């Protein structure tokens, strides 16, 4: 029935600050859509941003999000990049179980305290990763 996630929405205090963080730290593409709405895109997915009360049908709070994103970067490169961006890693690298198999994850917060988990698939779980 469900094939993939099209987009998610995060409630943030400052939309442009959120866009800048995701663009710099997670190297996502900043986009504008609709009537000036802001988002970031990666692959065939996107993250839309809203402020409190912007979307009346959504009763979310700032910083209530919890995302797990997959990277094809080696774990060492990911950690070095986060360090270079002065992002405080709050946990990891740590072994976890992802949707398609074992992953190695690091956790940090975005500027609004949404929990971001960036993970590397174990080589056996992802045919694009070469075993060494």
Query: What residues act catalytically?
Result: 117
- The Cα–Cα gap between 118 and 107 comes to 7
| Cβ proximity of 98 and 86 under 8 Å | no
- Strands 102-109 and 91-97, by their bridges, are antiparallel
CA distance 75 to 49: 28
Do the strands 29-33 and 37-42 form a parallel or antiparallel pair, or are they unpaired? Answer: antiparallel
Kindly write down the DSSP assignment for every residue of 54-67, as one continuous string: SSTT----TT--EE
CB 119 within 8 A of CB 68: yes
């Amino acid at each position: 029935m469900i094939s993939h996630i099209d987009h998610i929405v995060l409630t943030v205090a400052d939309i442009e600050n959120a866009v800048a963080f995701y663009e710099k730290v997670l190297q996502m593409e900043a986009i504008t859509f609709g009537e000036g709405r802001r988002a970031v895109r990666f692959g065939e997915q996107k993250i839309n941003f809203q402020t409190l009360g912007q979307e009346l049908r959504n009763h979310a709070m700032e910083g209530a999000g919890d995302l797990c994103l997959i990277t094809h970067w080696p774990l060492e490169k990911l950690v070095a990049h986060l360090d270079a961006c002065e992002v405080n890693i709050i946990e990891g690298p740590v072994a976890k179980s992802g949707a398609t198999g074992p992953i190695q994850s690091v956790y940090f917060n975005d500027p609004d305290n949404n929990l971001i988990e960036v993970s590397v698939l174990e080589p056996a779980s992802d045919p694009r990763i070469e075993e060494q």
